[in-house]
Structure 1
Amino acid sequence: MNSLWLLVVGIILFILAYVSYGGYLAKKWGIDPKRETPSHTKYDNIDYVPTNSKVLLGHHFSSIAGAGPIAGPIQAAIFGWLPVYLWIIIGSIFVGGVHDFGSMFASVRHDGKSIGEIIKSTIGKRGKILFNLFAWLALVLVVAAFTDITASTFAFDQAKPELLAGARAGTASVLFIALAVIFGFAVYRKGAGLAVSSVAGVILLFICVYIGYIFPIFKFSKLTWQIILLIYITFASILPVWLLLQPRDYLSSFLLYAMVIGAILGIIITHPTLQISATTAFTVGEGAKAQYLFPILFVTVACGAVSGFHSLVGSGTSSKQIDKEEDTKLIGYGAMLIEGVVAIIALISVAYVAKAEGTPASIFASGVAEFMSSFGVPVQVGKVFVTLAFASFALTSLDTATRIARYIFQEFFEEVGKGKKSILTNTYVATIVTVAASIGLLVYGYTNIWPIFGASNQLVAGLSLLALTAWFAKTGKKTIMTLIPMIFMFCVTLTALVILIRNFFIGGKTVLLVVAVLLLVLAIVLIIETATTFKNVKTKSGNIKA
């Protein structure tokens, strides 16, 4: 089949959904462009900073995208391209987009607080404590999975010195981090104009890519890169958001947009034929390695259709930077639909280079580089460029996930300590504990971590939708837009966790088994807690609006 149709149809549907369904949600939820946002009422120039919507869109999109919309569809393609494609479209529009938009909007209405705080206001203090513990464990899995996948992408194999794509991308990434710090300091401390700084920053960004390609000096092993990345995310968690996190994500968004545009243009020119079947089988593999289309496909695609991580980003960092409430539609719903486009490109890439082997990054880079060669970009240059873009996705998720996990860890111990300050609420201690916990999972590698990451990540989405449903019901708004996606996500994720517990037990993966059991127990207890509270929720008319 000609893959161009998949891309064109997907983009058209996303545009129509943004205008129609996104507008419908904004109207029903009561988005108020005149209402003052937390970035103004709680301004502190560290976390709460009013930000231009275009800058924040780049920051938010870079943060939520991660490796998920690329690695997920590539791994889920074992079930064929059709079910993956349908879930990307339907999930992005009716589940992921609603989840992201709603989470950000709810956070803005709760002084930029996390989803956990929204659960506290609608379900109770115990609900917040349970959710924060669950969310923190899920974020530790995010940090572990993305650290391993990024380190694998950058790793240099001494036995194959001719393979330099990873070393080149790693060198460019290090230079890029330094550039981001300079950009942030220039814009937020020296008053440099955003337009001029953006042009200069993008030019210097591509110079970093060029230098990395010509002089790949950081030829490190996977272990060395893991150590470097763990040190990096530790600093990223505690530095002011304007100094590293926001400028790096903003500048990397141009890199990501360039990759997406290049891939789209290449697909239009080459219109590659899909080399894998539309569908394969409901069950792939046997025993502990068995993969079932339901529910595994839905948790494997992960961020390509819906991701609980997005609600943690939207309510953790992005909501604190929203300038006007109406920006939540562009940044929340819009960014999810853009991520859906990335997921479609990833699916087309793996379907085109069906026999390619290696990490998701190398498979994706091979496919997109082939597409980009159609308009004159050398394949090897294209591979380095796409590998760097992939790494930028993963790195933005890494630093954002660590920062949000730090927030949640501090919130958790403030809550259980009844507001009293202790060493566990300290910014540095919270960061160190989070990073240390992820180190214990790195030994399993991303291929083993990914299934439980996907399940926990999607379950966070279900719990976030549950919180939104309870809040909308309490405030007299319709709940049908979040209620149906919530029920579906619970069916998918709880089933997936049960299957993973079985597989981890058979495979003797003790740590992952313990984490999976803990996640399942926490989720069930929180659902029961919410169900009990939900029975007592009344609207002004005395009934919960469907």
Structure 2
Amino acid sequence: MLTFFGALLLLIVGYAVYSKFVERVFVVNDETPTPAYTKRDNLDYVPMSWWKGNLIQLLNIAGLGPIYGAVAGALYGPVAFIWIVIGTIFAGGVHDYFSGMLSMRHGGAQYPSLVGRYLGNTVKSFINLLSLVLMMLVAAAFTAGPAQLISQITPVSFTVALVLIFGYFLLATVLPVNRIIGKIYPLLGGILLFMAVAIGVALLFTDKQIPNLTIENLHPGELPIWPLLMVTISCGAISGFHCTQSPIIACTMKKETDGRKIFYGAMVIEGVIALIWAAAGMTFFNGTGGLQEALAAGGPSGVVNEISTSLLGTLGGILAILGVIILPITTGDTALRSSRMILTDLVSKFYKMDKKYKVLFVTIPVALPTFYLATIDYTFLWRYVGWTNQVVASVMLWTGTMYLLKNGKFHWICGVPAMFMTGVVCTYIFYAPEGLSLNYHLSLVIGFSLAFIVLLWYVGQIVKYRKIHRKEAELHAA
């Protein structure tokens, strides 16, 4: 139990201390007008209060991610607590802050546009495709999952449920951000947080002890911690999906100092939620062996339902239904909205048309394939979300690194986690079943070799920009 409470305390201290350090490195200025005012269109660019932005951002980035991912990650034992803390403070919080603040600084630019600006058009083209694929996979999986559950507990068929959910998705995608998202999502974000806190408090009053991290239980399973844990627990540590969502809220910020509370704050709250559910997963079933059996029998939704109803009774059942049905839907619709905004950026260079027609024009190409993907086996889709998600996260961290390098700022806050995540994805792609399924040790050799090449590139960029800044300083002195 000490490990759990220590991890919780570190998350709080991390927000109080490290987020302020990150903000000082970035340098904020409340005198600079934000895109919510300079580009206000009452569709995507609408000023909203920071607390609404925080809760909407939390719901956008979280959904069931920090619940399902944390429960699955609990199979690795208490080491999951350590990853959640380190990932949230030094990687996820930084990733989310820079993705939101850079978008805000560049007029509400979407993630691929930021990548193109700081990493070049070649990487931008790759990321445009990868981001759209990721958004459609997430939207499809988060349509099919709730639709399947609705068909199991009500007379409504899977097809009808799918159509109804997708109809809502289209409305949330094309309507102004303050119509549905701005009014309902802060409430649902509060429910997500309340659900986790209620589970955490109830867990403390059971006769079960949350396990501590020791040498004996450091690695209770057979699967290797590196790189699988870092992909299994993404929401709740670091997730590339977040940088596709941050521009939605970046377009609604009233002032720059709100960014730390919105972006870094939402990531830390998500880390707390993941921490609680990881603790519940490894405690409620009397260890990782019992959790593995429960996951095999009922999957993540069955585990969440059993924990919720057992610890919280009727309230737990209601929360479980809200969580397993409503929360993924609210993530799926913003995934589709992000796709629409990314595609809008692309077509705006080639087609000039009225805003309302453009919204419909770009929604159709992402909506149709997403709906088709939702009709096939969504568990198959979910296997490919993990590694594409963390590739996107790595590229966003490198984008932040290059921004800091070009501006002569402390680039290590982005560069170190970027190198770490590069090592993770390079190894994972070669080792994982949805990758190349190579031998683990061979995957390590190839993965670290590729990461070393990226490190050499990084060192080269450091040397390059040091020379540039030195020359600029000499010219300024002269």
CA displacement, residues 129-187 of structure 1 (integer Å, 9 cap, x when unaligned): 3321221111111112222322233332xxxxxxxxxx4xxxxxxxxxxxxxxxxxxxx
Q: Please tell me whether the aligned partners of residues 63 and 328 of structure 2 are also in contact (alpha carbons under 8 angstroms).
A: yes
Q: Given the superposition, is the C-alpha separation of residues 432 and 26 from structure 1 closer, same or farther in structure 2, using an over 3 Å criterion? A: same
The counterpart of 2:169, out of the listed 233, 241, 250, is 233
- TM-score computed with the length of structure 2 as normaliser: 0.84
Offset of 1:121 from its aligned partner?
2.5
Q: Please tell me whether the aligned partners of residues 452 and 497 of structure 1 are also in contact (alpha carbons under 8 angstroms).
A: no
The counterpart of 2:412, out of the listed 477, 480, 504, is 480
Amino acid at match of 1:366: E
Offset of 1:486 from its aligned partner?
0.7
The 5 A counterparts of 1:288-303 are 292-303=224-235
Structure 1 residue runs of 4 or more that deviate by more than 6 Å after TM superposition: 530-533
CA displacement, residues 416-443 of structure 1 (integer Å, 9 cap, x when unaligned): x4x66699x9322422221222244335
The counterpart of 1:383, out of the listed 317, 322, 331, is 317
Q: Given the superposition, is the C-alpha separation of residues 531 and 137 from structure 1 closer, same or farther in structure 2, using an over 3 Å criterion? A: farther
Offset of 1:390 from its aligned partner?
4.0
- Show the counterpart of 1:541: 470
Q: Please tell me whether the aligned partners of residues 139 and 335 of structure 2 are also in contact (alpha carbons under 8 angstroms).
A: yes
- Show the counterpart of 1:365: 305
Gaps of 5+ in 2: 286-290, 438-446, 473-478
Q: Given the superposition, is the C-alpha separation of residues 436 and 293 from structure 1 closer, same or farther in structure 2, using an over 3 Å criterion? A: farther
The counterpart of 1:437, out of the listed 369, 381, 390, is 369
- Show the counterpart of 1:132: 128
Offset of 1:261 from its aligned partner?
2.7
Q: Measure, in 1, the Cα distance between the counterparts of 2:229 and 2:38.
A: 43
Offset of 1:17 from its aligned partner?
0.5
- Show the counterpart of 1:152: 148
Q: Measure, in 2, the Cα distance between the counterparts of 1:131 and 1:382.
A: 40
Amino acid at match of 1:84: A
- Show the counterpart of 1:513: none
Q: Given the superposition, is the C-alpha separation of residues 407 and 532 from structure 1 closer, same or farther in structure 2, using an over 3 Å criterion? A: farther
- Show the counterpart of 1:44: 41
Query: SS of the counterpart of 1:272?
Result: coil
The counterpart of 1:455, out of the listed 383, 387, 395, is 387
Query: SS of the counterpart of 1:323?
Result: coil
Offset of 1:271 from its aligned partner?
6.1
- Show the counterpart of 2:264: 333
Matched, 1:103 2:99: yes
Q: Given the superposition, is the C-alpha separation of residues 458 and 222 from structure 1 closer, same or farther in structure 2, using an over 3 Å criterion? A: same
The counterpart of 2:32, out of the listed 35, 38, 52, is 35
The counterpart of 1:322, out of the listed 250, 253, 259, is 253
Q: Please tell me whether the aligned partners of residues 133 and 412 of structure 1 are also in contact (alpha carbons under 8 angstroms).
A: no
Q: Given the superposition, is the C-alpha separation of residues 492 and 20 from structure 1 closer, same or farther in structure 2, using an over 3 Å criterion? A: same
Q: Given the superposition, is the C-alpha separation of residues 326 and 87 from structure 1 closer, same or farther in structure 2, using an over 3 Å criterion? A: same
- TM-score computed with the length of structure 1 as normaliser: 0.74
Offset of 1:300 from its aligned partner?
1.4
Alignment RMSD, CA only? Answer: 3.1
Matched, 1:467 2:407: no
Offset of 1:74 from its aligned partner?
1.8
Query: SS of the counterpart of 1:33?
Result: coil
Q: Please tell me whether the aligned partners of residues 49 and 320 of structure 1 are also in contact (alpha carbons under 8 angstroms).
A: yes
Offset of 1:474 from its aligned partner?
1.1
Q: Please tell me whether the aligned partners of residues 62 and 396 of structure 1 are also in contact (alpha carbons under 8 angstroms).
A: yes
Matched, 1:8 2:5: yes
- Show the counterpart of 2:111: 115
Q: Measure, in 2, the Cα distance between the counterparts of 1:497 and 1:542.
A: 41
Offset of 1:247 from its aligned partner?
1.4
Count of residue correspondences: 444
The counterpart of 2:217, out of the listed 278, 286, 292, is 278
Offset of 1:262 from its aligned partner?
1.5
Q: Measure, in 1, the Cα distance between the counterparts of 2:130 and 2:460.
A: 19
Q: Please tell me whether the aligned partners of residues 241 and 389 of structure 2 are also in contact (alpha carbons under 8 angstroms).
A: yes
Q: Please tell me whether the aligned partners of residues 300 and 450 of structure 1 are also in contact (alpha carbons under 8 angstroms).
A: no
Q: Please tell me whether the aligned partners of residues 66 and 393 of structure 1 are also in contact (alpha carbons under 8 angstroms).
A: yes
Offset of 1:39 from its aligned partner?
1.0
Higher mean displacement: 320-329 or 404-413: 404-413
Amino acid at match of 1:383: G
Matched, 1:224 2:160: yes
Query: SS of the counterpart of 1:20?
Result: helix
Amino acid at match of 2:270: E
Q: Measure, in 2, the Cα distance between the counterparts of 1:454 and 1:271.
A: 35
- Show the counterpart of 1:515: none
Offset of 1:42 from its aligned partner?
1.3
Amino acid at match of 2:162: Q
Identity score, percent: 27
Q: Given the superposition, is the C-alpha separation of residues 432 and 531 from structure 1 closer, same or farther in structure 2, using an over 3 Å criterion? A: farther
The 5 A counterparts of 1:264-275 are 264-270=200-206, 272-274=208-210
Gaps of 5+ in 1: 157-166, 168-217, 285-291, 373-378, 507-519
Offset of 1:20 from its aligned partner?
0.7
Amino acid at match of 2:330: T
Higher mean displacement: 26-35 or 302-311: 26-35
Amino acid at match of 1:360: P
Q: Measure, in 2, the Cα distance between the counterparts of 1:461 and 1:237.
A: 23
- Show the counterpart of 1:260: 196
Q: Given the superposition, is the C-alpha separation of residues 74 and 93 from structure 1 closer, same or farther in structure 2, using an over 3 Å criterion? A: same
Matched, 1:342 2:273: yes
Query: SS of the counterpart of 1:426?
Result: helix
Offset of 1:342 from its aligned partner?
1.0
Q: Measure, in 2, the Cα distance between the counterparts of 1:436 and 1:109.
A: 33
Higher mean displacement: 264-273 or 470-479: 264-273
- Show the counterpart of 1:90: 86
Query: SS of the counterpart of 1:139?
Result: helix
Q: Measure, in 2, the Cα distance between the counterparts of 1:229 and 1:77.
A: 31
Q: Measure, in 2, the Cα distance between the counterparts of 1:533 and 1:395.
A: 44
Q: Measure, in 1, the Cα distance between the counterparts of 2:209 and 2:121.
A: 54
Amino acid at match of 2:164: I
